[in-house]
Chain A
Amino acid sequence: MNDLLQSLEITASAMKAQSTRLRYISENIANADTPGFRRKLTTFQAVRDGIDPTGEIQSGPVRLDDRELPRVFDPSHPMADDTGYYDGSNVEMLIEISDARQAQRSYEANVKMFDQARRMTSSLLDLLRR
């Protein structure tokens, strides 16, 4: 019973982490055309209680993708320099979309596990109801 309740907490933490990731992806997509915007990345890490990992996960600190920003030629752009170029953003739509899809799939897998643990708990409690 205790293990089942703990697995509910673990899946809940994973769903939270995946939705944080999805939030950063949507920030990236929204800023795909913002000049000078660097893509935001997050990775997951284990939650630790002292030294021991609890099994739960959380999203790690946000990093910025330090790939070079593409130079876009548009002399009429207000941010263009003397040569007519300005810094674009290094967001690539294809990568963001596939990341979003991956986050969605992982989220779904976690929802399935949550549902299964919940059903196992309730069938265990059904033993009392006779």
Chain B
Amino acid sequence: MFDKLQIFQLVGGMARHAGVRQNVIAQNIANTDTPGYKSQDITPFAHAVEDRASFGLRSTRSGHVTDGGVSGRWEVQRVRGGSNQPNGNSVSVETEMVKAAETQQQHATALNVYRSAMDILTISLGQR
């Protein structure tokens, strides 16, 4: 684990993903009453990690270069379906609120994992 400290990169990517998603959801909620606005979302974090496994750099020996970071592997896309109001707007505030709660959970998880990994690291270095 302490060879490359990949966990920090992974967790950093997770927190960044939550940040970007929060931004997209904020845009959706800001546009609940804008005529013609279509709801948006970004690629789930799990997909970003899977993509890395199939398309990313593969390390088969310990000395190989790895790309531990998963940032930049998600993109904003329109959500299909959803409630269609007469003015062409497809944002449902309830759905967005659920997504916002998920995002916050993800962010909190990432930060907590980061914190405890940091704790383990400090303990193993003999400080504290």
Contact = CB atoms under 8 A, between A and B. Distances in A.
Interface of A: 1-4, 6-8, 10-11, 13-14, 17-18, 21, 43-46, 55-57, 102-103, 105-106, 109-110, 112-113, 116-117, 119-120, 123-124, 126-127, 130
A112 B97 contact: yes
Nearest to A106: B32
Given A3-B19, A109-B32, A123 B93 contact: no
27 contacts: A3-B16, A3-B20, A3-B22, A3-B23, A4-B22, A6-B23, A7-B26, A7-B27, A8-B26, A11-B26, A11-B29, A13-B30, A14-B30, A14-B31, A46-B37, A57-B30, A57-B34, A103-B33, A109-B96, A112-B97, A116-B104, A120-B107, A123-B108, A124-B107, A124-B111, A127-B111, A127-B115
Contacts of A18: 33
Majority SS at the chain A contact face: helix
